[in-house]
Structure 1
Amino acid sequence: MDGVDQALVVLAGFGAGILTSSVGVASLLSFPFLLAVGLPPVTANVSNTIGLVPGGLGGAVGYREELRAEPAITRQVIALTGVAGAVGAALLLALPPGVFEAIVPWLILVTCLVVGAQPRISRWLAVRRERAGHDGSPRVRLSPVTILFVLLTGVYGGYFGAGAGVMMIATLALGLDIDLRVIGGIRTASLLASNLVAAVIFTVVADVDWAVVGLLAVSSIVGGYVGARVARRMSVSLLRSLVVVAGVVASGALLFG
């Protein structure tokens, strides 16, 4: 890479770090940049996953207050996505390229619609629980269905991960009655776990461009922290709107890019 390519990778890492902890579509920014500087797709994907781990760390530090709010849920989601990330990494190395990418845009689009409709869906679910005789107490434990979708999102995060943050927010927002900012913190920490486990596997067995990893790592950790601070100051409705817009753009980029 020449100086221009290196500058582009640094810019991509900083922007991806911001997106990691704010709206959750980091790879949709950084992955195309790595392709543009000449990396083969699988090498770009692997290097991107490893390089953005520090961005997730920066985001988790930025969300440290939110992560203290629901420690039991946070630990459970992190454990689930860590295991699932290993499965996703194994699939990337074992399956032909393009298997997941074919359905990813549609998954992202559906989850965006779910995030946008989540307040109405939550009200509808609350009414149903009340009519069914439940006490209407807040849902602060993961149901089996929520656990399943957390695992699926973690697998996808370990495999490719573009839009995984949007999917995780949709899953947790529908399955739990907790503040969206807290969900944003759990989302950031859980995807960090998925990417970290995948990164360890990739480091051992995959073809990695370590120069790219280094540039992404340095720039994304700053971006991740900045993104978490920005997201904390947004209103819940604005954050929800940005998640939906980011997801729609991400799905469009994958469909037509």
Structure 2
Amino acid sequence: MTVWEAVAIFAAGLAAGAINAVVGSGSLITFPALVAFGVDPVTANVSNNIGLVPGSLTGAYGYRAELAGQRDRLLRLGPASAIGALIGGILLLFLDPDVFHVVVPVLIAVACVLVVVQPRLNARLAARREQSDPHGGVLLWLSVLGAGIYGGYFGAAQGVLLIGLLGSLLPEPLQRVNAAKNVLSLIVNATAAVLFVFIAPVDWWAVLAVALGSTVGGFVGARVGRKIPAPILRGVIVCVGIVAIFKLVYG
């Protein structure tokens, strides 16, 4: 890897870290960049996942104020993300990639719809939530497990999917949902990264460049994202989701 390639990948990591903190889908920048510079697609996917872990950490730390009071919830949902990530990582290494090409865009589209209808859906579900588990119950646990499988497998637009699920099934404003999303995404990325380090091909120079960029980007994204009003943030999430669908279907 040349110096200029490393700089370009660092810049991609910077953008990805910021986008992941605000919405998710940073992999749509870093993964194509690694492939464009000659990294094998599977190695690029693995290296990208490992490199984005520090950015996920700084993004989650940047939302620490919005995480207040969510400890028990995340302790319940965290294992679902970890188990899902392990399953997804194994699928990445052993399953035909074409299997998910049809399913993934549909999942992202559903997530975008959930984000759009979330305020109205929350109002309809409010009375039911008062009599049910405030942490989302079994339905949310299984949904987070499914998002973790997807995140461990590829991860692009994982944040959009998680925001759609969490926002629809939890009685929380969007910024607190986003904070929980950042922690669960961190668990998915970190779990898959541990798996990949031991059993997958890794380009460590690519990991370093992405990690340095995403670390800075996570801080920047968290500072910006926390100030975005909910309606605008909702619009950004949907736009990112649409771009993700387009790239996955036509890219």
TM-score bracket, normalised by the shorter chain, equals: over 0.9
Matches within 5 A, 1:113-128: 113-126=113-126
**How far does residue 114 in structure 1 lie from its aligned partner after superposition?**
1.4
Residue 94 of structure 2 aligns to which amino acid in structure 1?
Answer: A
Matches within 5 A, 1:90-239: 90-126=90-126, 129=127, 136=130, 140-239=134-233
Instruction: Verify the 8 A CA contact 1:55 1:224 in the aligned structure 2.
Output: yes
**How far does residue 124 in structure 1 lie from its aligned partner after superposition?**
2.7
SS in 2 for 1:103: helix
SS in 2 for 1:178: coil
Matches within 5 A, 1:13-162: 13-126=13-126, 129=127, 136=130, 140-162=134-156
Cα deviations by residue, 1:37-80 (Å, 9 ceiling, x for unpaired): 11111011000000000010110110111122321112222222
Residues in 1 aligned to 2:10 and 2:191: alpha-carbon distance in whole angstroms: 23
TM-score by length of 2: 0.95
Unpaired runs of 5+ residues, structure 2, are: none
Q: Give 2:241's match in structure 1, choosing from 239, 242, 247.
A: 247
Number of residue pairs the alignment of both structures matches:
251
Residues in 2 aligned to 1:198 and 1:138: alpha-carbon distance in whole angstroms: 32
**How far does residue 138 in structure 1 lie from its aligned partner after superposition?**
8.6
SS in 2 for 1:100: helix
SS in 1 for 2:172: coil
Residues in 1 aligned to 2:132 and 2:142: alpha-carbon distance in whole angstroms: 20
Instruction: Verify the 8 A CA contact 2:46 2:201 in the aligned structure 1.
Output: yes
Percent sequence identity is 41
Q: Which moved more, 1:99-108 or 1:48-57?
A: 99-108
Unpaired runs of 5+ residues, structure 1, are: none
Residues in 2 aligned to 1:120 and 1:89: alpha-carbon distance in whole angstroms: 35
TM-score by length of 1: 0.93
Q: Which moved more, 1:95-104 or 1:244-253?
A: 95-104
Cα deviations by residue, 1:200-247 (Å, 9 ceiling, x for unpaired): 110001000000000111110110111111111111111111111111
Cα deviations by residue, 1:137-177 (Å, 9 ceiling, x for unpaired): 69622221111111000111111011110000011111110
Question: After the TM superposition, which parts of structure 1 deviate over 3 Å for at least 4 consecutive aligned residues?
Answer: 134-139
Q: Which moved more, 1:147-156 or 1:95-104?
A: 95-104
Cα 1:223/1:26, change in 2 over 3 Å: same
Residue 154 of structure 1 aligns to which amino acid in structure 2?
Answer: G
